Amino acid sequence: MKKRRHEIIMDIISETDVTTQEQLIQLLEERGEKATQATLSRDIQQLSLVKQRLEDGSFRYTMPPAAAAEKSVFEESVTGIDYALNTIVLKCLPGMAQGTCAAIDSVRHEGIVGTIAGDDTIFILTRSEADAKRLVKKFKTDIFQGKQGSR
């Protein structure tokens, strides 16, 4: 339940300028996820969300720098993603796997046991097939959002 709520929170703040916890609670409820203010405060702390100043002087919640860096590296280097049981395979542009793998490691995704990178391929071992499915879905959303011809 917490993992799902955390994923929804990350989706919301990547799509919308959320300036208050009250606004975030409302947006969560619109997606079918209820949370109290105390629960949301803990979620914000656990996700290491930061406030970023907008041009008008107000602040919005945003991803921690490591997560933003991971997304940027993914968009530039990952060309394919698949999994078998509890192992995820990311295909990258030549020479990009190690940097991308370092970005994955810096975020410390729940469910990842370990990663290994070659020149253009990353293997990610997860604790379970369910963790692999969840991460593949997240990675595909982050990586291939807006890319044409992705798998």
Rounded to an integer, what distance in angstroms lies between the CA atom of residue 40 and that of residue 108? 20
CATH number of 2-62: 1.10.10.10
Domain ranges in the chain are 2-62, 65-144
Per-residue pLDDT averaged across 14-38, rounded? 92
pLDDT higher than threshold 90 for residue 84: yes
Note whether 21 and 37 are within 8 A (CB).
Answer: yes
CATH code of domain 65-144: 3.30.1360.40
pLDDT above 80 (res 1): no
pLDDT value at position 139?
A: 85
Contact indicator for 119, 107 with CB cutoff of 8 Å: no
Q: Is the pLDDT of residue 144 over 60?
A: yes
146 has pLDDT over 50:
no
Which among 36-40, 70-74, 126-130 has the top mean pLDDT?
126-130
2-62 and 65-144, same CATH topology: no
